Chains A and B, each alone.
Chain A
């Protein structure tokens, strides 16, 4: 399943499928981009980040892709599990503050 950034804030996928969460950012001067996961009742938790001089970075079951030409960031989650259900935020920074996107609610159906 795939979301389209701020205009589709929910994404529902079947357990085991791959998920793609998209984000459009606005500041071309940002030098770091981060994905956070927020579960109910908890604060945002760091998932993965990527520098502006990279276009892809992989973690455990997650991959972040950065397309600076169109100012687009995506998070791919492989073999999505029920524990992945949460709100996912992209964030950008060029200094000390983080600028967040609106968030996408990911629901994983068993």
Chain B
């Protein structure tokens, strides 16, 4: 069974540009999460989808970040316009059962560098 996949693995963009990250969860997992690790610090929650609906988006830092999960399958996270402080590693995770967050399976992450 394929795990969580993320694309691209690395992205280098200039300040002010737009970047879109993609996450493909494990097939059949209704729950999809986005996290990020900035400046080598702790991994922080961004948001949680249940199917196509946003269950919790309280971790989104500001309105430059837009997450979508049309059709309840893969998800995208768009940053527009990107700022220097957005640099970091963005992780996606998925889980099958709602409310059982410890069973989250993580993707390899997308390393975003904003210059």
- Residue in A44, A45, A96, A102 whose CB lies within 8 Å of B101: A96
Q: Is the CB of B99 within 8 A of A96?
A: yes
B99 / chain A contacts, CB cutoff of 8 Å: 95-96
Q: Which range contains the number of A residues in contact with the other chain?
A: 20 to 34
In the complex formed, the residue of A with least CB distance to B91 is A43
Specify which chain B residues have a CB less than 8 angstroms from the CB of A101 in the assembled complex.
42
Given the complex, which residues of A lie within 8 Å of B45, measured CB to CB?
A: 97-99
B48 at the interface (CB under 8 A from A): yes
B108–A100 touching, CB < 8 Å: no
Q: Hey, which chain A residues are within 8 Å of B106, CB to CB?
A: 36, 43-45
- Cβ-defined contact, B108 with A32, below 8 A: no
CB nearest to A102 among chain B residues: B42
Chain B 9-34 interface mask (CB, 8 Å, partner A; 1/0): 00000000000000000000001010
The complex places the Cα of A85 from the Cα of B108 at a distance, in Å, of 17
Tell me the bound Cα distance from A99 to B42 in angstroms.
9
Residues on A with C-beta less than 8 A from B33 are 96-98
**Contacting pair A46 B102 (CB below 8 A):** yes
- 9 additional contacts (CB under 8 A) given A41-B108, A42-B109, A102-B41: A42-B108, A43-B93, A44-B43, A44-B106, A91-B102, A96-B98, A97-B45, A100-B35, A103-B43
Residue numbers of A with Cβ under 8 A of B are 32, 34, 36, 41-46, 49, 89, 91, 93, 95-103
> Shortest 3 CB-CB distances between A and B: which pairs?
A43-B106, A100-B43, A97-B45
Residue pairs across A and B with Cβ atoms less than 8 A apart, 5 shown, are: A32-B102, A89-B42, A97-B33, A98-B35, A98-B101
